[in-house]
Chain A
Amino acid sequence: MEDRYAEVARTFGAALERLAAGYERDPDARRDLLQDIHVALWRSLARWDRRCSLRTWVYRVAHNTAISRIVRPRAAAPTLVAMEDDLDSVADAIDREGSFDRQRALDRLYALIHRLRPIDRQVMLLYLEEEDAASIAEITGLSAANVSTKVRRIKQILVRQFHEGSHHGS
């Protein structure tokens, strides 16, 4: 089991750090969450029954641990549709006179992610990790059609903003 955990830590370590950052703003709280995720993974891997892929298992344990720890129900949290306008501001930080203000764009992207409802946040984080729609559906339990709609919405928003940002800069 320890070998399997070592493999998971090696393969998903960086993605899990980004995932933790998607839930916790504060660096100390983020480190605590990341440690909780690693402990939960280490404990859970002995029970991995191969009914889903290791990748799916890892992301489920990680997201569900994060949800257990930090998420409280927030009826007023914005949906992906409602955040479309907010995402405009991400574009403002991108590609000014040919340069890419990464840190500012990242800060804004994180700010938006932190405001999302849990499931939308999970879809967004998985999309940013380049998971395909089928994987996101398996991890989140949403229907493939639903995930495709959400992903298309995220993609359209990001692509439009990115291209608009590039055009402004060129």
Chain B
Amino acid sequence: MAHEDAPGIGQMWRQQPQAEHRMSMEEIRTKAKDLDAKVKQWNQVGGLMVALLLVKNAWEIWVDTDLLERGGDTLMFLALVYVIYQFVRYARAETSPAARGQASCSEYYRARLVRQRDLSSEGWKYILPFVPGVALIVFGRAMQGRPAGQVALLIVLALLLFAAVLWVIARRTRTLEQEIAALDQR
């Protein structure tokens, strides 16, 4: 598609000064190794964080003496395991470099948006599992004769936290859906 009617713009674009950044095969291999190492490092850091969270929750189950709070801690532990499982499943679905050549740009971009939208729109799946645990812990504290004000504050804070997270999720889902709809119109 020669820019016969606008040679200035086409020439200007293609003749612009460039850094002439060339990579040798050795640099490519090193960079590929670095990328793999970075992914591995992130996985290790993520794994460590998850392990610490699980240990902390397990510890709370162990040391809590109140039966209700212990039940709440157990439910929180199970919710955490479920959410970790969901995230690992999501992360494993990442595409390979070859898939980037097989899919057209609009297919690829749409697939990424849909993937993000699905993760976002199913955000309640990551929130809801924690509700029974939190509810049981709050109930347990109320039964222990804690001041009503303190229990009420705990309930309000928990509700606000859940509501804020769900609002952020809904907003992000809406933006993604708008972008997908705009893409589908083309």
CB distance from B111 to the nearest CB of A (A): 10
Q: Is the CB of A138 within 8 A of B13?
A: no
B61 contacts partner chain A, Cβ-Cβ < 8 Å: no
Give every chain B residue within 8 A of A127 (Cβ-Cβ): 1
Stretch at the interface among B15-23, B41-49, B65-73, B127-135: B15-23
B113 contacts partner chain A, Cβ-Cβ < 8 Å: yes
Q: Is the CB of A130 within 8 A of B1?
A: yes
Looking at the complex, which one of B1, B12, B20, B113 makes contact with A131 (CB distance below 8 Å)? B1
Give every chain A residue within 8 A of B113 (Cβ-Cβ): 73
Q: Is the interface of A mostly helix, strand, loop or mixed?
A: helix
B145 contacts partner chain A, Cβ-Cβ < 8 Å: no
CB distance from B182 to the nearest CB of A (A): 7
Q: How far is the CA of A73 from the CA of B14 in the complex (A)?
A: 29
Q: Is the CB of B97 within 8 A of A44?
A: yes
Give every chain B residue within 8 A of A146 (Cβ-Cβ): 186
Q: Is the CB of A102 within 8 A of B12?
A: yes
Of B18, B100, B104, B182, chain A has the most CB atoms within 10 Å of the CB of B100
- Chosen A-B contacts, 19 in total, with CB atoms closer than 8 Å, are A14-B18, A31-B21, A34-B21, A39-B28, A39-B32, A44-B97, A67-B105, A73-B176, A100-B12, A102-B16, A118-B109, A119-B183, A128-B9, A130-B1, A130-B10, A131-B1, A146-B186, A155-B5, A162-B9
**Contact A75:B178 (CB < 8 A) given known A138-B104, A142-B186:** yes
Q: Is the interface of B mostly helix, strand, loop or mixed?
A: helix
Q: Is the CB of B28 within 8 A of A5?
A: yes
CB distance from A6 to the nearest CB of B (A): 8
B25 contacts partner chain A, Cβ-Cβ < 8 Å: yes
Q: Is the CB of B179 within 8 A of A47?
A: no
Of A9, A39, A68, A162, chain B has the most CB atoms within 10 Å of the CB of A39
Q: Is the CB of A64 within 8 A of B5?
A: no
Known contacts A73-B178, A117-B182; can you find 18 more A-B pairs with CB under 8 A?
A: A31-B19, A35-B23, A39-B35, A40-B97, A42-B28, A44-B96, A44-B97, A46-B98, A60-B100, A64-B105, A65-B97, A67-B108, A68-B112, A73-B179, A118-B109, A127-B1, A128-B9, A130-B3
A-contact 0/1 string along B163-179, CB 8 Å cutoff: 00000000000011011
Interface size class of A (residues with CB under 8 A): 35 or more
Give every chain A residue within 8 A of B13 (Cβ-Cβ): 18, 106, 109, 128-129
A71 contacts partner chain B, Cβ-Cβ < 8 Å: yes
A17 contacts partner chain B, Cβ-Cβ < 8 Å: yes
Q: How far is the CA of A75 from the CA of B103 in the complex (A)?
A: 23
Q: Is the CB of A119 within 8 A of B100?
A: no
Q: Give 10 closest A-B pairs by Cβ, nearest first.
A: A141-B104, A47-B98, A64-B100, A141-B106, A73-B179, A44-B97, A43-B97, A57-B101, A75-B178, A159-B5
Give every chain B residue within 8 A of A71 (Cβ-Cβ): 109
Give every chain A residue within 8 A of B21 (Cβ-Cβ): 17, 31, 34
Q: How far is the CA of A117 from the CA of B16 in the complex (A)?
A: 23
B6 contacts partner chain A, Cβ-Cβ < 8 Å: yes
Of chain B, the residue at the smallest CB distance from A63 is B105
B122 contacts partner chain A, Cβ-Cβ < 8 Å: no
